[in-house]
Amino acid sequence: MFAEQVQVQVRAAATGERWWRRLCLASFVLAGITALLVWVAVAELLRQGHLGAVLSAGRAELAAPLLVALVVGTGICERIWPAERRPVLARGHVQDACFLALHAIVVIPLMTLLSVGAATLIGGHAHWLQLRATEQWPGWLLVPLTIVAMDGANWLAHYADHRLGPLWRFHALHHSQEELSVLTSFRAHPLMHTAGFLLATIPVVALMPARPIAPVLITIYVCIGTLQHANLRWTFGPVGRVLVSPAYHRLHHAPDIQDANLGVVLTIWDMLAGRARFPSRADSVNRTGLDGRPVPVEQEASAGPALLLVAGQLAEPFRARS
Ligand SMILES: [Zn+2]
Ligand SMILES: [Zn+2]
C-alpha cells in the first residue's frame, strides 16, 4: 500500500501534476457542510447554556445500556448460530471493533450535534415546513408517524448514498466489509451521516416541531438498525416482511445486489420502490464486500496494523480516483 502511494507521488512529481488534482474536492465540500452544521449546533447550545446536557443526553440515547446489551447478546448468538463461521478475532471483527471505539468517542457526539445543527438550520429558516395542524394530534398517532417518516428519509439518504458519487465515496467503507458481524453497524465514515441527519430532520420539524421524541424510542430504532448486520441467518419469519432482518440486509451487502434492500428499519420503502428482495431460510449465505476492493480492507494480505488501516480507510474518500 505504502509502496503504491510512493509510486503515485513519484509519478505525479515526474509529470508535474498539481497536488490538488489528487484530492476529491466534493469530499471536502461535504466535510465543510458537516463542520458548518456542527458549528451552528455548538453556537446555539452555548447560547442556551445546554451544550454539556445535550451531549450527555445524546450519549444516553445512542450508547444506551439496551444497545450495549443488544450488541453483546447478538455477539453471543453469532458464536452459536453463525451465518459464516470464523474466529472471534477475525480481522474483520478487530477492524470493526476499532470503528466501534471511533463511534463511541467521535461519532456519537457528532451525531448529536448534527441533529441539533440540522434542526436549528431547518427549523430556523423553513417555518413553512411546520405543519401546525399536527399540534392537536395525539401522541400515539403522531410519534409513530414521525418515526416512520424519519425511516423514509433515512431510506432516501441511503438511496442517495448509492446513487451520488460523492456520497458513495463515504458509504463505500461500510460496504467494504467482507466479514459481516454486528460490529459492522459501526463501520461507517463519520461524514457518512451528514446527508441522513439533514433529511431525517425534515419530518421531525414538519410533524413535531415543539414536542421531542422519547429517547427510548430512538434507542429502540437504533437497536433494530444495529441488529441487521449480525452474522446470523435470521429472516424474522413473517415479521421480516415488515422489519429489516439480518438476512435481508446481508443481501444489500452482496457485491452485485447493492441497489436492493436499502431499508434501514422498515422494508416498506423498498417494496414501494420495487427494490425489496426477501431472503428465505433455504438460500445460501452470500458473500459481502466490494469487487476490486476500491477501499483498503483488512482482509488484504498487505494490510497494515488495524489503527493505521482505519486512518487509511477514513482518508480514502478524500483521494481522487483515477
Ligand atoms: Zn448501502
Ligand atoms: Zn449495512
pLDDT at 210 over 60: yes
And the C-alpha cell for 48?
442556551
**278 CA to centre of ligand 2 in angstroms:** 16
Helix (H, G, I), strand (E, B) or coil at 16: coil
Query: Of the ranges 6-10, 94-98, 204-208, 311-315, which one carries the lowest mean pLDDT score?
Result: 6-10
Q: How far is CA 180 from the centre of its chain?
A: 14
Neighbours of 250 (CB within 10 A): 27
| Ligand nearest to the Cα of 174, by number | 2
And the C-alpha cell for 205?
420539524
And the C-alpha cell for 130?
411546520
Helices (H), the chain: 2-15, 25-48, 51-62, 65-80, 91-102, 108-125, 139-163, 165-175, 194-207, 215-227, 246-252, 268-272, 306-315
Beta bridge partners of 266: 243
Q: Give the per-residue pLDDT at 5.
A: 52
Who wins on pLDDT, 208 or 199?
199
Closest to 261 measured CA to CA, from 274, 246, 277, 241: 277
Model pLDDT for residues 255-274, shown as the tens digit of each residue: 988 899 999 999 999 999 99
Q: What is the mean pLDDT of residues 286-291?
A: 95
Residue type at 33?
A: I
**6 CA to centre of ligand 1 in angstroms:** 32
**54 CA to centre of ligand 2 in angstroms:** 28
Q: Give the per-residue pLDDT at 8.
A: 52
Beta bridge partners of 23: 319
And the C-alpha cell for 108?
456519537
Q: Which long-range contacts (CB under 8 A, 24 or more apart) does 264-272 make?
A: 264/151, 264/154, 264/155, 264/158, 264/225, 265/151, 265/154, 265/221, 265/224, 265/225, 266/148, 266/151, 266/155, 266/242, 267/240, 267/241, 267/242, 267/243, 268/242, 269/151, 269/152, 269/155, 269/156, 270/155
Q: What is the mean pLDDT of residues 152-177?
A: 96
Q: Give the per-residue pLDDT at 133.
A: 75
**172 CA to centre of ligand 1 in angstroms:** 8
Model pLDDT for residues 97-120, shown as the tens digit of each residue: 999 999 999 999 999 999 999 989
Q: Is the backbone of residue 212 left (phi > 0), alpha (psi -120 to 50) or beta?
A: beta
In angstroms, the first-to-last Cα distance of the chain is: 16
Closest to 241 measured CA to CA, from 273, 277, 274, 208: 277
Model pLDDT for residues 2-39, shown as the tens digit of each residue: 445 555 555 655 666 677 778 999 999 999 999 999 99
pLDDT at 1 over 50: no
**160 CA to centre of ligand 1 in angstroms:** 9
Q: Give the per-residue pLDDT at 22.
A: 87
**64 CA to centre of ligand 2 in angstroms:** 21
Q: Give the per-residue pLDDT at 11.
A: 61
Q: What is the mean pLDDT of residues 272-277?
A: 97
Who wins on pLDDT, 135 or 22?
22
Helix (H, G, I), strand (E, B) or coil at 130: coil
Q: What is the mean pLDDT of residues 36-43?
A: 96
pLDDT at 136 over 90: no
**Residues near 240 by Cβ (< 8 Å), separated by ≥ 6?**
247, 248, 267, 278, 279
Q: What is the mean pLDDT of residues 193-214?
A: 84
**318 CA to centre of ligand 2 in angstroms:** 22
Distance, CA of 180 to CA of 158 (rounded, Å): 18
Q: Give the per-residue pLDDT at 134.
A: 76
Contact yes or no for 202/129 (Cβ under 8 A)? yes
**252 CA to centre of ligand 1 in angstroms:** 7
And the C-alpha cell for 3?
509502496
Half-sphere exposure of 216 (CA within 13 A, CB side): 0
Contact yes or no for 253/279 (Cβ under 8 A)? no
Closest to 151 measured CA to CA, from 228, 245, 252, 244: 244
pLDDT at 150 over 70: yes
pLDDT band at 154 (very low <50, low <70, confident <90, very high): very high
Mean pLDDT of the chain: 91
Q: Please give the angle made by the CA atoms of 288, 292 and 298, to the nearest 5 degrees.
A: 65
